[in-house]
Amino acid sequence: MHSRFRLPGPTPLPPAVMEAMQKPMIPHRGADMKALYRSILDRTKAVHGTSGDIFIWPASGSAGWEAAAVNLFSPGETVICAIGGDFGERFHRVGKALGLVVERLDVEWGQAVTPEALREKLASTPDVKGVFLVHNETSTGVTHPIEQLASVAREFDVLVIVDAVSSAAGIQIEMDLWGIDYVMSGSQKAWMCPPGIMIAAVGERCWPAYERSTYKRFFWNFGAMREAAAEGATPTTPPLTTLYAFDAALDMLLSEGLEQVYARHAALGAQMRAGAEQLGLSLFADPAYASNTVTAITVPGGKAKALQKRLKDEHGIDVANGQAHTADHLIRVGHMGWCDAEDIEIVLDALAEIVPTL
């Protein structure tokens, strides 16, 4: 595909997605729109492995945290937030800002949250209503063992709220099978679309929680979204152009086949990690939980930004540096969405040239 745009979001746009965005506006309450939206919702359910509801809002991914909090909990309720990186931190911050009591379950950056640690935290924290989990921690390149974590949470009968912003459509997530109640993601990551829509998948157990919730809300209202979706509509004007893009991306994903999509990402992750290690670089994530959508590479001597700049200046390649305290110590290479083996080769060849003289 020969893209040199290797951020872990936004990600490169396939030609079919770009083309779809050239389509003209249609009446947003008309029959064509209803058909398009219904078809998008059905296919998006399949990608999440759920028979629950899908809601799509014009927003960036972060809105998914707030939507979960104000629909499924009430002010002052206790939730546990597993934190092993910058996005776990943000999840925690959102919960606190909205008045939840957010108990931290911290793991060292680069490590995964273990089922044992979650069980212990749940057992020792009174009156927990939900757990906030990040499936793929984009700041560290770790994929947390979400299936096992959800299964522990089920033992305690608490809601399982998952940030899958950098995993949905790149790493398998089986919401119903694994007992996950809520999954949120953003269009600009493995969905290979431009930024602009937040995708929320809402399972059956969410609805009693929604009925109990005392938060005030207007825009982020599951009930209003559900009512409108039953009519193939959204409560407010839908983000038409981004939906055209999303429709085209869903076609691509389902015609490649989800199994193949996940296998391709696994192969890309393995290729990136092996290539980096061959160059003598070390990987930041625990190898047992290494992400297939983003690889964090340790750059010795605090030279991450220097390496990032040389990749751009000398090879036209965009990668991300680290987040928060890892800013000078990591580069992060995105390989999610529209990406193939040649794209990874381009990055590895450039690293091979630069690293010896960094």
Which residue matches tokens 């893209």?
3
Segment interacting with ligand PLP (CB under 6 A) among 23-31, 60-68, 122-130, 277-285: 60-68
- C-alpha distances in angstroms, 114 versus 171, 227, 288, 305? 19, 38, 12, 32
How far apart CA 89 and CA 91 sit, in angstroms, is 5
- DSSP code of 24? P
Q: Residue 212 Cβ, how far from ligand PLP at the closest point, in Å?
A: 26
Nearer Cβ to ligand PLP (60/298): 60
List of E strands, 93-158: 101-106, 128-134, 136-137, 142-143
Secondary structure element (H or E) that encloses residue 277, with its range: helix 258-278
Find the residue with minimal CB distance to ligand PLP.
61
Segment interacting with ligand PLP (CB under 6 A) among 20-28, 124-132, 163-171, 300-308: 163-171
DSSP string, 227-259: HHHHTT--SS---HHHHHHHHHHHHHHHHH-HH
Choose which of 62, 74, 148, 298 interacts with ligand PLP (CB under 6 A). Answer: 62
Segment interacting with ligand PLP (CB under 6 A) among 159-167, 236-244, 259-267, 278-286: 159-167
- Residue 109 binding ligand PLP, by CB under 6 A: no
Nearer Cβ to ligand PLP (9/49): 9
Helix then strand then coil, in percent of the chain rounded to 5, is 45, 15, 35
- Residue 7 binding ligand PLP, by CB under 6 A: no
- Residue 60 binding ligand PLP, by CB under 6 A: yes
Segment interacting with ligand PLP (CB under 6 A) among 160-168, 228-236, 240-248, 271-279: 160-168
How many of the chain's residues bind ligand PLP (CB under 6 A)? 11
How far apart CA 197 and CA 1 sit, in angstroms, is 24
Choose which of 40, 113, 133, 134 interacts with ligand PLP (CB under 6 A). Answer: 134
- Residue 68 binding ligand PLP, by CB under 6 A: no
- Residue 241 binding ligand PLP, by CB under 6 A: no
How far apart CA 265 and CA 76 sit, in angstroms, is 40
Q: Going by DSSP bridges, is the β-strand pair 182-186/136-137 parallel, antiparallel, or unpaired?
A: unpaired
Q: Residue 265 Cβ, how far from ligand PLP at the closest point, in Å?
A: 15
- Residue 291 binding ligand PLP, by CB under 6 A: no
- Residue 163 binding ligand PLP, by CB under 6 A: yes
Q: How many CB atoms lie within 10 A of CB 151?
A: 17
Structure tokens at 342: 């040649």
Listed residue (64, 63, 335) closest to 192, CA to CA: 335
Choose which of 44, 138, 242, 326 interacts with ligand PLP (CB under 6 A). Answer: 138
Nearer Cβ to ligand PLP (62/74): 62
How far apart CA 269 and CA 93 sit, in angstroms, is 30
- DSSP code of 146? H
Residues 69-98 that bind ligand PLP (CB under 6 A): 87
Binding pattern for the stretch 171-210 against ligand PLP, x by CB under 6 A and - elsewhere: ---------------x------------------------
The residue ranges that bind ligand PLP (CB under 6 A) are 9, 60-62, 87, 134, 138, 163, 165-166, 186
